[in-house]
Copies of this chain bind each other. A is one copy, B any other.
């Protein structure tokens, strides 16, 4: 069946694949100083935000991504008080961080303020906690912010970026990751969105592990989880520890978490640490 203008389609030409969602209407479209941002009402996946033609999130499945970008890192760190989010403009990651009652301060540095303003308008369920006094929302270049940040300031850093092409490319390089290592406190944990295990094992995940190693992160592991609306439906988050073992986590605390999740639990966390056979050697350090 040919797909007409009633479908939003994201194509990944160099993988020869496409994913489409049936839409009712386009609610918003604008060109920000950085990128093209669109919001659609879909027929079965709630609202959809797309940036430069790529799915950023849908209401139906973003819980998978946001929970897995946050809770494994937070329960790997012994006692996370201060968190830095680079990117994350839709505020879904921020919200999951704020659910942890021991968090005293979260700084989010998103380069494009328009992403957050559009999320506030069209995805209010993600931005409902933005008024929390522990939040510090900044709109500037994350690379520059990190460069001028004092040493050993944060317990957890989450890099919730778009794909490592264009503006986000620098976020995957060893120069920037060395800066992240510097601003983490001892025992600190970095969580970085790291694309699809199937599509990007060789061209993104292996180089990322190499960059992390060069940046000083001896302990690393890539967690795998489903995100149906992202290319291949299978995604990953890479954890790297500064003097912190990232394959262990506070299992009892994770089981007793004082908030609701839809995907994450202590078994899912442990399960996501399993390294697929074809990724052995590439995904753990």
Which A residues are within 8 Å of any B CB, using their own CB?
1-5, 7, 9, 11, 13-22, 42-45, 53, 61, 197-198, 224, 226, 228, 232-234, 261-265, 267-268, 270-278, 280
Copies of this chain, count: 2
Q: Which of B234, B261, B274 contacts A271 (CB 8 A)?
A: B274
| A61-B198 contact in complex given A3-B18, A44-B16, C-beta closer than 8 Å | yes
Interface of A is mostly: mixed
Q: Which residue of B lies closest to A276 (CB)?
A: B263
A7, chain B: closest CB distance, angstroms: 7
Give the shortest distance, in Å, between A249 (CB) and chain B (any CB): 13
CA A226 to CA B234, docked complex, whole Å: 6
Q: Considering only CB atoms, which chain B residue lies closest to A231 in the complex?
A: B228
On whether the beta carbons of A44 and B20 are closer than 8 Å, the reply is no
A2 contacts across to B, CB distance below 8 A: 2-5, 9
Report the bound CA distance from A7 to B9 in whole Å: 12
- For residue A170, give the distance in angstroms from its CB to the closest CB of chain B: 28
Complex CA–CA separation, A234 to B230 (angstroms) = 12
Instruction: Tell whether, in the assembled complex, residue A17 and residue B20 are in contact, meaning their CB atoms are under 8 Å apart.
Output: yes
